[in-house]
Amino acid sequence: METNRAPVDRDAVDFILQLARALHSYGTPSHQTEGLLGGIASRLGVPAQFMATPTSILISTGTRPSERIHLLRVEPGEQDLGKLSDVSEVANAVSFGELTAAAGSARLAEIDRARPRYRSLVVILAMGLSSAAASRFLGGGAKELPVAATIGLVIGLLSVVAARVKAVGRMFEFLAAFVASALAGAAAHVIGPMSVYLATLAGIIILIPGFTLTVAVTELSNKHLVAGTSRLFGAITTFIVIAVGVAIGGTLMASLLGDPSLRAPIPLPGWTEALALAVAPLAFAVLLKARPRDSLWILLTCGAGFAGTRLGSKVLGPELGVFVGALVVGLAGSAYANLLKRPAAVLRVPGILMLVPGSIGFRSFTALLDRQVVPGVETAFKMITMATALAAGLLIASVVAPTRMAK
């Protein structure tokens, strides 16, 4: 996006650069980052153009012959919905003259230095609860659910270590998948026959990059080919790393203890699904670092998206039914942004996490590793179809109900 005002304010340029890094750090997709930065630059009277990718942001400011190029080298950011809300408030305040650009830059620095919103123990418990809820959604029984919850707690503890030790952080997905598979295999020898696969999948569900895949498809749909392609292959790589970790962990445990006893899960009562539907969004709110005051909105949006997917599946089939759920979540995010003047991502991200086809993608790669080529390819095609349906739902929602900046 380009603007044509002059002269260039140095403080305004510094604010835009810092804002670009903040938006990327807290998980904003590349096409949205460019759009937001373009709007802010226009309001501040800074002629600018932007190119954002998952690992870099290129910004040109000013006009020829005094045009300057700025390159920000960035790492793929994790979702931090609380800080994203704080950054959005600062951006709006600077954009409409309530804060100077210099004061806005100082405020962004304070947000970056702020301590994590939730303590490590709360994050670990949220990981356990999200895995337990995932077990119920995937059809787990009385044995699979507690095993999945235990795996989630262990992975939550590992994530705390990974955040502090860079060496662990670089191989976190592989280590988590390995540990999950080993724990599930060992549990089958302790508590008796169970679905080791389901318990493992539920335990690592929060790590599976289904949401990243959906964002990649959305970026490609918005003609952001570089960002979308790199994010797509990043998601595929993560799928492969997790599948290999699960395979190694399961094989090692089988060689030490023998093959586990397997049995299909015994279904739990229907009311447990409603309980899982209440627990999962609250756990996601913690894991995504959302503000506590947004938890109720997240819960309602996730419930509405889940219900929309169920309804859509009856009409369009299970692969395309997620389109309805994504449309509901997208419209809820737009309404939230326009009425409460907060980022739509606060509702859209956890809402889409309830719907993403991550488990299907994991099944595809494990099937391929097991040399089941035809089932693996069929499942991969189903995953791509669902991701495209999700992206379509979000795109239509953004057209029907576009978000506006606060005034």
Q: Does residue 79 sit in the same domain as residue 57? A: yes
* Tokens 């292959």 -> residue: 233
Contact (CB, 8 A) for 342 and 88: yes
Question: What would the DSSP string read from start to end of 57-85?
Answer: EEEEES-TTS-EEEEEE-PPPPP-HHHHH
**Start-to-end C-alpha separation, the chain:** 21
Give the Cα separation of 242 and 368 in Å (integer): 13
Contact (CB, 8 A) for 211 and 356: yes
Last residue of a domain, one of 68, 90, 113: 113
Q: Does residue 77 sit in the same domain as residue 131? A: no
Contact (CB, 8 A) for 63 and 85: no
Beta strands in 5-67 (DSSP E): 48-52, 56-61
Q: Chain centroid to CA 67: how far?
A: 36
Indicate whether 64 belongs to any domain.
yes
Last residue of a domain, one of 89, 113, 137: 113
Q: Does residue 162 sit in the same domain as residue 263? A: yes
Indicate whether 5 belongs to any domain.
no
Task: Tokens for 319, please give them.
Answer: 């692969």
Last residue of a domain, one of 81, 113, 145: 113
Contact (CB, 8 A) for 208 and 361: yes
Q: Does residue 141 sit in the same domain as residue 208? A: yes
Contact (CB, 8 A) for 57 and 110: no
Task: Tokens for 354, please give them.
Answer: 């309830």
Phi and psi angles of residue 402, each rounded to the nearest 5 degrees, phi first:
-70, 150
Q: Does residue 93 sit in the same domain as residue 196? A: no
Give the Cα separation of 223 and 395 in Å (integer): 12
Quick one: residue 356, left, alpha or beta (phi over 0 = left, psi -120 to 50 = alpha)?
Answer: beta
Q: Does residue 279 sit in the same domain as residue 305? A: yes
For residue 30, give the nearest of 223, 285, 233, 209 by alpha carbon: 223
- Tell me the chain's radius of gyration from C-alpha atoms: 22
Indicate whether 372 belongs to any domain.
yes
The domain total for the chain is 2
Indicate whether 263 belongs to any domain.
yes
Contact (CB, 8 A) for 405 and 92: yes
Exposure on the CB side of residue 156, measured as CA atoms within 13 A: 26
Q: Does residue 208 sit in the same domain as residue 338? A: yes
What 3-state DSSP class applies to 56?
Answer: strand
Bridge partners for 52 per DSSP = 57
- CB-based burial of residue 231 (10 Å sphere; 0-12 exposed, 13-18 middle, 19+ buried)? buried
What 3-state DSSP class applies to 119?
Answer: coil
Contact (CB, 8 A) for 48 and 38: yes
Q: Does residue 76 sit in the same domain as residue 149? A: no
Alpha helical stretches, state H, 138-270 = 144-164, 166-170, 172-191, 196-203, 210-221, 225-257
Give me the pLDDT at residue 151, please.
95
Quick one: residue 45, left, alpha or beta (phi over 0 = left, psi -120 to 50 = alpha)?
Answer: left
Q: Does residue 108 sit in the same domain as residue 199? A: no
Indicate whether 405 belongs to any domain.
no
Q: Which residues contact 127 (CB under 8 A, 6 or more apart)?
A: 152, 153, 155, 156, 159, 206, 283, 287
Indicate whether 69 belongs to any domain.
yes
Give me the pLDDT at residue 363, please.
66
Give the Cα separation of 268 and 289 in Å (integer): 31
Give me the pLDDT at residue 365, please.
60
Contact (CB, 8 A) for 195 and 140: yes
Phi and psi angles of residue 317, each rounded to the nearest 5 degrees, phi first:
100, 160
- In the predicted model, residues of the chain with pLDDT beneath 50 are 1-6, 406-407
Q: Does residue 80 sit in the same domain as residue 207? A: no
Give me the pLDDT at residue 360, please.
67
Q: Which residues contact 311 (CB under 8 A, 6 or more apart)?
A: 321, 324
Q: Does residue 103 sit in the same domain as residue 196? A: no
Alpha helical stretches, state H, 258-321 = 271-287, 295-316
Question: pLDDT by residue (tens digit) across 362-403?
Answer: 666 666 556 666 666 677 777 788 888 888 888 899 888 887
Q: Does residue 170 sit in the same domain as residue 298? A: yes
CA distances from 48 to 80, 91, 153 (A): 27, 16, 46
Buried b (16+ CB within 10 A) or exposed e, 54-69: bebbebbbbbeeeeee
Provide the residue range defining the domain that includes 36: 10-113
Indicate whether 407 belongs to any domain.
no
Indicate whether 149 belongs to any domain.
yes
Task: Tokens for 339, please give them.
Answer: 């009425």
Alpha helical stretches, state H, 317-344 = 322-340
